[in-house]
Chains A and B, each alone.
Chain A
């Protein structure tokens, strides 16, 4: 069965064998030879766009069942996901770009969304790296995890505003993949081991204690 093992991204760099295959991030190399995040790859952007623009759900894998049968299996993937919590008002940036009274029915805002970090460039590179030199040891270190703020409205006849803050978590998500005749269903059956990707007041960088070593 096809299986996504994102840990294979580790060490997939300039000197890897699989030139024909694509990773998910592009890397820059700073003066001491460490890799630092540069941007998403074209392939990631392609899959991202295809999924976001689809009205029929994710791209469907081909059926692994013997012909004339239907089959199902459970698959657990280690992948990122969002955890969202309700908020009373917009925050994350000071000053916050919106406030609750701007949402319908009080105001005219039907939907609003922003990140708690202002990404200056098109690639998601944290803005503070722009001004660092290539020998700066802080170049490439993530010091915060941008969270996603969303304001939206439900029930057109009796509009109710909502505000949520969503953070990116690392989790093991289980799916039941079922293939029958012409249809494919991917049903999310569980989530486990969720940990926030980067807790506040911590940082993660290319010279981390658990840096990759070959012995």
Chain B
């Protein structure tokens, strides 16, 4: 078991640091004969312990506390000196504070808005799936699609007199209802589907017929 050497305790830098400090502070500062300027004879003037203009202590009445604090600061500075044998690492409890963003959730309103959006989307989806099932095929709404689905005599008749497509579209054209389905024609003719007047059209039956 090692017992701490009291002598070495005396000089764990204590006496040495104290000596350096006493030496730096030693000396004096006096006025000259006319009290017009100072004669400085001490290394304390290298530090900011004395005010540079008045050469009186910067901390005034607390000069001895200042002397004590400055001496202790030598040992605090040692905390950054990695070449010192006396510098160790130790664990200490440390309280940490951080500013973090906190999210505030209003669950009712969030559920309501998201629920409505999801619900309506689901309805549209189901409607679309049902249509696909019933129709047996899907189609988009580009020009070419309309071009091939408007090949009927009724459509030609409707368009007669308006072939330029001038804006605004004529009211009688706008108000005319058309229905897409199988055109009624003789049984020997191949089945044909197009937009036509509702009275000329029947339901499409993809299972039984092949449409041209």
Q: Is the CB of A208 within 8 A of B16?
A: no
Q: Is the CB of A4 within 8 A of B47?
A: no
Interface string of A20-39 (1 = CB under 8 A from B): 11111100000000010101
Q: Is the CB of B38 within 8 A of A24?
A: no
Cβ-neighbour of A208 out of B5, B81, B85, B90 (below 8 A)? B5
Interface string of A174-215 (1 = CB under 8 A from B): 010000000000101000000001100000111011111111
Complex CA distance for A95 and B28, rounded to whole angstroms: 17
Complex CA distance for A75 and B57, rounded to whole angstroms: 29
Query: Across the interface, which residues of A come within 8 angstroms of B28, CB to CB?
Result: 98, 109, 111-113
Complex CA distance for A110 and B53, rounded to whole angstroms: 12
Chain B residue at minimum C-beta to C-beta distance from A77: B75
Please provide the chain B residues from 163 to 210 with a CB less than 8 Å away from any CB of chain A in the complex: none
Interface string of B36-73 (1 = CB under 8 A from A): 00100010101110100011110011011001111111
Q: Does A79 contact B (CB under 8 A)?
A: yes
Q: Is the CB of A52 within 8 A of B92?
A: no
Complex CA distance for A68 and B99, rounded to whole angstroms: 8
Smallest beta-carbon distance B34→chain A, Å:
10
Interface size on A, as a range, is 35 or more
Cβ-neighbour of B21 out of A6, A64, A148 (below 8 A)? A148
Given the interface contacts A166-B64, A173-B72, A208-B6, does A48 sit within 8 Å of B88 by beta carbon?
no
Q: Is the CB of A11 within 8 A of B18?
A: no
Q: Is the CB of A65 within 8 A of B96?
A: yes
Please provide the chain B residues from 1 to 36 with a CB less than 8 Å away from any CB of chain A in the complex: 1-33, 35
Complex CA distance for A3 and B89, rounded to whole angstroms: 5
Q: Does A146 contact B (CB under 8 A)?
A: yes
Q: Does B120 contact A (CB under 8 A)?
A: no
Interface size on B, as a range, is 35 or more
Given the interface contacts A3-B88, A110-B38, A112-B28, does A152 sit within 8 Å of B74 by beta carbon?
no
Q: Does B147 contact A (CB under 8 A)?
A: no
Given the interface contacts A44-B13, A72-B95, A170-B14, does A119 sit within 8 Å of B23 by beta carbon?
yes
Given the interface contacts A109-B28, A110-B29, A156-B56, does A66 sit within 8 Å of B64 by beta carbon?
no
Q: Is the CB of B5 within 8 A of A10?
A: yes
Q: Does B111 contact A (CB under 8 A)?
A: no
Query: Across the interface, which residues of A come within 8 angstroms of B84, CB to CB?
Result: 21-24, 43, 47
Complex CA distance for A213 and B25, rounded to whole angstroms: 38
Give the 10 A-B CB pairs with smallest separation, nearest first.
A24-B13, A124-B19, A3-B90, A40-B16, A69-B98, A84-B64, A9-B12, A58-B73, A58-B76, A73-B94
Task: List residues of B whose CB falls within 8 A of some A CB.
Answer: 1-33, 35, 38, 42, 44, 46-48, 50, 54-57, 60-61, 63-64, 67-81, 83-98
Task: List residues of A whose CB falls within 8 A of some B CB.
Answer: 1-12, 16, 18, 20-25, 35, 37, 39-41, 43-45, 47-48, 50-55, 57-62, 64-66, 68-75, 77, 79-84, 98, 104, 108-115, 119, 123-124, 140, 142, 146, 148, 150, 152-156, 162, 164, 166, 168, 170, 173, 175, 186, 188, 197-198, 204-206, 208-215
